[in-house]
Amino acid sequence: MNQSNTLRINTSTLTKSTETNLLEVKNLKKYYPITSGLLRKEIGQVKAVDDISFTLKDGETLGLVGESGCGKSTAGRTILRLMDPTSGSIHFQGKDITKISGGTLRKVRQDMQMVFQDPYASLNPKMMVGHLVSEPIRNYYPNRKENETRSEVMELLNRVGLSEEAYYKYPHEFSGGQRQRIGIARALALRPKLILADEPVSALDVSVQSQVLNLMQDLQQEFKLSYLFIAHNLSVVKHISDRIGVMYLGRLVEITDKKSLYREPLHPYTQALLSTIPVPDPQARFKKERIILQGDVPSPENPPLGCAFHLRCPYVKPVCEQIKPPLKEVSSGHQVACHLYG
């Protein structure tokens, strides 16, 4: 397959930051205004993403987990600049992309693609698969020769486990797993550096999930990809991630490498989440204590003072009700936001 530099656009006009991380997110916030009345006066804010910071290295997979509504998808889409951040900064490939727009943003987007949760909803049912996968190439390279694009797309389809005949078929002719393979081929068409995968297997049967996850891992090596992998299912995230960040009510409460998180979760919310993972071994299942959290997740329109988790935390202390715990490194590469740790 031709992976030549013909698909690369020089983005060196952007401001330089650091060379080491593919992605650096600092103090990112995404708030939505709540308005009222005819004049749509702002009466409050929904703090969907509330001051998160993390990095993602070249070739790494960072899983972002948390319950529905915790802000993980909003964080991902804000990082891809599908929506404007309220504040904070996003550096991608060493360049500040926080406020870019127009043609500059379009160039950067080439290197940042997305795989969606529902492949059927994300694929135009009236377009042949070949055209769906080649659409990004046609958009970015309108003068490219048709036969070159077609043979490249055929190779991509092969690479994701589909036959060349798939090129001339329509999305409804495929199973859910095959449609997700089409979505992945389309995301790869411009040879991105970063793929945001937002719940990419949660709509698939369990038997198909591991096939798609294995494919994504193979493609990561071959295409030198980094993944920001968003999911609510901790087993899925464990399968694919190098590091994992746990989100609660718009905040990152713990982030570390996969082994540390599953062996020694520190944040009480992470401990509760992990206690719900089914254990196949009956002996181990007997020993494992499931932590049942009391109450519901508070509304991001009206988050509690102090630690966002304090209304449900079994270890709550007076300080937790008043002071928001910062995300602190407690051992090498293991950060946690909790007053129990220093």
Q: Which residues make up the interface to ligand SF4 (CB under 6 A)?
A: 267-268, 307, 309-310, 313, 315-317, 320, 325, 338-340
CB of 302 to ligand SF4, least distance (A): 17
DSSP element (H, E) containing 26 = strand 21-36
Identify which of residues 139 and 299 has a Cβ nearer to ligand SF4 in the complex. Answer: 299
With a CB cutoff of 8 Å and minimum separation 6, the contacts of 289 are 275
Identify which of residues 44 and 318 has a Cβ nearer to ligand SF4 in the complex. Answer: 318
CB of 273 to ligand SF4, least distance (A): 12
Identify which of residues 230 and 338 has a Cβ nearer to ligand SF4 in the complex. Answer: 338
The type of residue at 237 is: V
CB of 278 to ligand SF4, least distance (A): 24
Which residues, listed in sequence order, are joined to residue 328 by a DSSP beta bridge? 336
The type of residue at 300 is: P
Identify which of residues 115 and 338 has a Cβ nearer to ligand SF4 in the complex. Answer: 338
With a CB cutoff of 8 Å and minimum separation 6, the contacts of 223 are 3, 188, 191
CB of 324 to ligand SF4, least distance (A): 9
Q: Cα–Cα distances in Å, from 100 out to 11, 60, 85?
A: 12, 25, 11
Identify which of residues 64 and 338 has a Cβ nearer to ligand SF4 in the complex. Answer: 338
State the pairing for strand pair 21-36/87-92. Answer: antiparallel
Identify which of residues 185 and 327 has a Cβ nearer to ligand SF4 in the complex. Answer: 327
| CA dist., res. 264 & res. 38, Å (int) | 52
Identify which of residues 227 and 309 has a Cβ nearer to ligand SF4 in the complex. Answer: 309
With a CB cutoff of 8 Å and minimum separation 6, the contacts of 29 are 47, 49, 50, 51, 85, 86, 87, 88
CB of 253 to ligand SF4, least distance (A): 7
CB of 307 to ligand SF4, least distance (A): 3
DSSP 139-203: HH-TTS-HHHHHHHHHHHHHHTT--GGGGGS-GGGS-HHHHHHHHHHHHHTT--SEEEEESTTTT
CB of 294 to ligand SF4, least distance (A): 13
CB of 141 to ligand SF4, least distance (A): 50
Helix (H, G, I), strand (E, B) or coil at 297: coil
Backbone angles phi and psi of 238, in degrees to 5: -60, -40
Identify which of residues 174 and 309 has a Cβ nearer to ligand SF4 in the complex. Answer: 309
The type of residue at 282 is: P
With a CB cutoff of 8 Å and minimum separation 6, the contacts of 256 are 243, 244, 333, 334, 335, 336
